[in-house]
Amino acid sequence: MLAVKAGDERAFETLVERHQFRVVGTIAKMLGGESDAEDIAQQVFLRVWNSAPRYNPSAKFTTWLLTITRNLVFNEMRRRQRARLVPLDPGDAVHPPPGHVDSSARSPSEEIVEVELQVALTKAIAALPEAQRLAVVLRRFENMPYEDIAKVLKTSVPSVKSLLFRARTDLRERLKNHLAG
């Protein structure tokens, strides 16, 4: 990032290549689908480029990057609430592409149960409040330590732990019918 700060376009290309999947994946998990994830990710990297002259390496780059991602995702979520848009079916991302052959030995009924659980989990995560949802996504899917999540959310580590506890409790309650069987 220091090379990007100095105006090195090649370093910026490398940075985008290295972090684009993490950013797109985080956005898709937060919004419940990939429909706008790439567009918002592009905005994230435009902000990174435009903010490069002011970049201060006081924290890990990924923490700074995911803070920018968080801000843009929260803005998009608020915009959607104001526009009253209904998100696409979160189960769309779970289904394999046509013609896909799964070499696992699961029966069709086991496969259906797995798909139903994944759809229910995606919906349950999408129903969490913004901060809880981002904490879950960063911890579960990005394997971020509590300290980095606290920096992204601009809060304390105990607050992150509390957010995750409440989110897990809520998810357990929402998924109890799927987990019981």
Cα–Cα distance, 9 to 145 (Å, whole number):
30
Flag whether pLDDT at 31 surpasses 50. Answer: yes
Q: Are 157 and 146 in contact (CB under 8 A)?
A: yes
More confident residue, 52 or 105: 52
pLDDT band with cut points at 50, 70 and 90 for residue 181: low
Within a 13 Å sphere around the CA of 150, how many CA atoms are in the beta-carbon half? 11
68-71 long-range Cβ contacts below 8 angstroms, 24+ apart: 68/44, 69/23, 69/26, 69/27, 69/40, 69/41, 69/44, 70/134, 70/152, 70/153
Q: Which domains does the chain have, with CATH numbers?
A: 1-87 (1.10.1740.10), 106-181 (1.10.10.10)
Q: Are 64 and 55 in contact (CB under 8 A)?
A: yes
pTM of the model: 0.60
Give the least confident one: 25-34, 67-76, 80-89, 98-107. Answer: 98-107
pLDDT band with cut points at 50, 70 and 90 for residue 30: confident
pLDDT (mean) for 86-102: 49
